[in-house]
Every structure is written in C-alpha cells, then in structure tokens.
C-alpha cells in the first residue's frame, strides 16, 4: 500500500434510481462537488404514491446534506394546525351527544416539535428537487442489468438493458424495494433479493379538503391523526398546501399476496374500502365514503424476514428502500434514506480528501464505513415498523387497547427516531473512516517509517509528534509510541 497517491481525476458516482433517495443523494454530492450521474430506468422522474411525511431527524439530515432540498420541502409541505400527532379510537363510538360522529376518544398524543412531521405530495417534492440537478447529470431509460467490480482497479462497469454500458468509481443502488442492484450484489437465489409481504395492505387516496372539512370538521381535517381499531387503522394528514386530505387506510390480510406479474398494487374501489371499515366509528366511515370511486390497493412489503446481509460490497452499495425497506407505520423510511445519503455524501467526499493507498481501497473502506454506521439503526426501524403496525391495530398481546401501555411504546419508539443526533452521525462517520484507513495502513508486514509519519499527519486527532521526534499514535484504546530517530522499518 502506497502512503501517498495523487488523485488524477475526480471520483465519479453512479446513482441507480431517480426516486426521492437517489435525487437527495445527488444533491448531497452536488453540494460537495463530487461528480455523479443518475441512471433512471423510466423516461422521466416520477414518484409512486400520494403523500409523504418527514420526521424531525429527517429534516435535520436534509439541512446537513444540502439546505436547498430542505427549502424545497418547506415550500411544498403543508403545516399542521397543531404540532401534536394524535392517536384516536376510530372504532368505538357511543357518544349520543355527537350526532355527526366526528368525536373520537383520544388515546395518546405526542409533540412533534414546531412544524414537525409535516407532509406533502411525493410528486411535488420530487419535482422541486429535480429542478436543482443539472440535466447533464441525468440519463433516462437506463435499466441496470449487470455490474462488474473489476479487481484490477479499473472503474466499475455497468451494463444496461438497452445494450449500453457505462463506468463509475462507485455504484449506489437507490432503486427501491424491488431493487435490481440488490439482486446483482447478492445473486438471484439469495433470500434478501425478495421482500416479504407483511400481511397488510392499504387503500390510498386524496380527498378534496373542502369535502373533508364539511364531513369531519376543520380541526380533524387540518392536522395529523391515526385512527385505531381492530385489525385495521387509518392515517390522515393534509397535503398540497391544505387543498387535500391524504388518506392511507391499512387492513390486515390473512392471505398471501399473489398478483400476476408480481405487482404490489391491485385495482380497488371505494366500495371495497367502505366494506373493510364498515364496523368502525362514524368518522372513519365518513372518510371511506369520501374517497374516489376508483382506488389502488397497495400491498405492504418490507425486508424484515430476509434482510440484506450488508449494504456494501466492494465498490457497490445500497441505500434507502433498496437496503432496508420498512413498513410505513413509523413514517420514517424515507427519512432514514436521507440519513443514508448524508453518510454516503460525507464519506465519499472524505475519500477525495485523503491520499492513502489506492483509490479503490479508499472507496471500499468508505463503503464499509457507511455500512457500519447505518446498518443497526435502519434494521431496527424495519423491525419496529412491524411492531407499531400491530400496536395500531390492537394486535399486540402485551399492550392490547391499554392507552398507557400504548403511549409508552409509541413515545420511546418515536423518540428513538426523532431525537437521533445527526451531527454526531457525521462526526462518527468521519472518525470511523479515518480509523479504518489507519488500521489498513498498519496492516502490511513492513512500512517505511518516513512514509508512515507523512501519512499519519493527515489524521491530527490520532497522531502527534513531540520535540524529541518521538511519535504517538492513538489506535483504539491504545497509544503506540515510535522512536523516529530509529531509521529502521516499522513492522
């Protein structure tokens, strides 16, 4: 390993997938002057689904990644009339004093922070972000088929369905839950290539706000509510600057999901939704009655049963749903993908800022660092999202319908997500990358001492040289003392 290798050209990153996470990562790299290209299989950018919300940690990650993307979010997001997330009993209703059925018993409420956990339409957010990316950095109609990480140090070779090829130093799969990159990395037969049905599906739709307010009242239509019940629950929140009420109505399904072509969506009607929630209270039934006549039924898949064993393999890696798709019950999957993007942008820039060993070895060390920083937190989210989905539908035996037990579970799980220290995550990423580089540097059997000292001076937090020319290297919990007056090799 050479101690000082000049970078002869900028690192180039290939981003596979032009959804929200791919575009967010691109903006993080753009901010740090890292070269990138987005390869999107569709002829243009589009987001599947209606509304999306971001928790406070996700907003902090946006600001750290590129403040412009946070500006876009705030422009398209709809403020709630209250900064509290409210969970209500959407099933029981026996209050004769409430003839319109709007009143639902409060089970728990949680403060989200000032303008916290706001929502927007997915497409509005994506369109605003894409405007910030130079057109030359985007290639459409590119469906990835093969990726070859060459051992000789040459760039990674990508092959696309249209027969074209391209090269990059790093290839990052941001291509969603049905990731082609995940299949390429682990092989067609690996269990992690296929997501698992969570045995829940959702009716999703938008209700014009005027109709929602007329049926539910201004308060219930203008802020975030979760309507709970047995084996089903409904999430509602305003989007599109308050012109629509976003509705996601979840239903437990005992059957396996089977649809021709492996699609995760199926056509449905308002009557299907009305029947599914026929036993719920008047407020929920009113919401179902306001949905459009034609709907889609969305199967909820995740990667809990067969998680990816790692998010990084050589110079390839996964981010967002491609790495750790979770059920949407925490409303935090996309936010965790933004955290992924921040770590990747940070550590890839760090690769350009040091000159240790080969470019390939630095990149592989960087991606291993990303995997180490992100794996545990994101896998916890996948598991916890399943748990809270059961809590919302009174399926958890330990909690049941007990509001106190429910509140304690929701409180600690939500704050585990929301209170994450984004600044510390960045510092940990930089520190761990630095430590890993040093560890790799010290691995060779022999290393010329002047070259060692020259390199270690790039890491001032772990290296010092005293007046008597002795050196002190902090390696983990130990301090290694080297007498630099000795001109022999270090081994």
Write out the catalytic residue numbers: 204
225 phi and psi angles, rounded to 5 deg: -130, 145
CB atoms within 10 A of CB 383: 13
CA distances 321 to 303, 339, 366, 383, 417, Å, are 9, 12, 20, 14, 17
Strands 165-168 and 156-160: antiparallel
CA distance 332 to 53: 8
Taking the C-alpha atoms of residue 24 and residue 20, their distance in angstroms, rounded to an integer, is 6
Please say whether the beta carbons of 127 and 26 come within 8 A.
Answer: no
Nearest Cα to Cα of residue 56 among 339, 245, 424: 339
User: Concatenated DSSP letters for 347-376?
Assistant: HHHHHHH---S-HHHHHHHHHHHHHHHHHH
In which element (H, E) is residue 199 found?
strand 196-208
Residue 449 three-state SS: helix
Helix (H) or strand (E) holding 213: helix 209-216
Q: What is the CA radius of gyration of the chain?
A: 25
**Side-chain half-sphere CA neighbours of 389 within 13 A:** 25
Question: Strands across the sheet with 470-475, in order?
Answer: 463-465, 470-475, 478-483
Residues 6+ apart with CB under 8 A from 391: 399, 406, 409, 410
Q: Which two tokens stand for residue 391?
A: 């809590």
Per the CB < 8 A criterion, the answer to whether 169 and 359 are in contact is: yes
CB atoms within 10 A of CB 320: 30
Distance separating alpha carbons of residues 314 and 155, to the nearest angstrom: 12
Straight-line distance from the first to the last Cα atom of the chain, in angstroms, rounded to the nearest whole number: 14
Q: How many Å apart are CA 220 and CA 81, to the nearest integer?
A: 9
Positive or negative, the CA dihedral 247, 204, 22, 413 is positive
CA angle 140, 146, 148 (to 5 degrees): 120
SS3 at position 50: coil
């Amino acid at each position: 390993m050479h101690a000082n290798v000049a970078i002869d050209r900028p690192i180039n990153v290939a981003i596979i997938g032009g959804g929200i996470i791919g575009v967010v990562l691109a903006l993080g790299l753009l901010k740090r002057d890292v070269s990138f290209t987005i390869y999107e299989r569709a002829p243009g950018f589009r987001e599947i689904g209606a509304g999306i919300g971001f928790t406070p940690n996700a907003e902090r990650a946006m600001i750290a990644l590129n403040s412009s993307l946070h500006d876009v979010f705030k422009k398209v997001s709809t403020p709630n009339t209250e900064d509290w997330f409210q969970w209500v009993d959407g099933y029981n209703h026996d209050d004769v004093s409430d003839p319109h059925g709007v009143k639902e018993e409060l089970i728990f409420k949680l403060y989200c922070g000032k303008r916290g956990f706001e929502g927007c339409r997915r497409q509005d957010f994506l369109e605003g972000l894409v405007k910030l990316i130079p057109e030359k950095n985007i290639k459409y109609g590119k469906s990835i088929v093969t990726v070859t990480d060459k051992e000789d140090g040459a760039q990674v070779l990508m092959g696309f369905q249209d027969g074209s090829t391209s090269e990059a130093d790093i290839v990052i799969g941001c291509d969603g839950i049905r990731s082609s990159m995940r299949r390429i990395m682990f092989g067609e037969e690996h269990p992690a290539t296929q997501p698992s049905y969570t045995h829940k599906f959702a009716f999703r739709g938008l209700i014009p706000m005027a109709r929602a307010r007329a049926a539910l009242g201004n308060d219930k239509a203008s802020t975030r509510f979760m309507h709970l019940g047995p084996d089903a629950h409904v999430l509602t929140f305003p989007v599109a600057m308050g012109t629509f009420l976003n509705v996601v109505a979840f239903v437990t399904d005992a059957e396996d999901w089977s649809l021709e072509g492996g699609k995760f969506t199926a056509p449905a009607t308002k009557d299907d939704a009305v029947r599914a929630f026929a036993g719920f209270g008047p407020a929920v039934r009113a919401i179902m009655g306001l949905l459009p006549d034609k709907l889609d039924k969305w199967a909820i898949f995740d990667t809990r049963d067969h998680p990816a064993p790692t998010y990084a393999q050589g110079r390839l890696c996964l981010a967002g749903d491609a790495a750790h798709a979770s059920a949407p019950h925490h409303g935090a999957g996309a936010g965790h993908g933004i955290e992924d993007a921040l770590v990747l942008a940070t550590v890839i820039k760090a690769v350009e800022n040091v000159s240790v060993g080969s470019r390939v070895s630095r990149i592989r060390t960087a991606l291993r660092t990303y995997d180490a920083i992100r794996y545990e937190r994101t896998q916890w989210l996948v598991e916890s999202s399943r748990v809270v989905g059961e809590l919302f539908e009174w399926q958890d035996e330990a909690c049941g319908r007990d509001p106190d037990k429910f509140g304690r579970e929701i409180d600690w799980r939500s704050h585990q997500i929301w209170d994450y220290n984004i600044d510390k995550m960045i510092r940990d990423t930089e520190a761990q990358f630095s430590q890993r580089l040093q560890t790799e540097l010290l691995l060779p059997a022999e290393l010329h001492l002047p070259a060692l000292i020259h390199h270690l001076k790039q890491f001032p937090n772990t290296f010092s040289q005293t007046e008597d020319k002795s050196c002190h290297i902090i390696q983990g919990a130990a301090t290694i003392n080297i007498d630099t007056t000795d001109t022999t090799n270090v081994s």
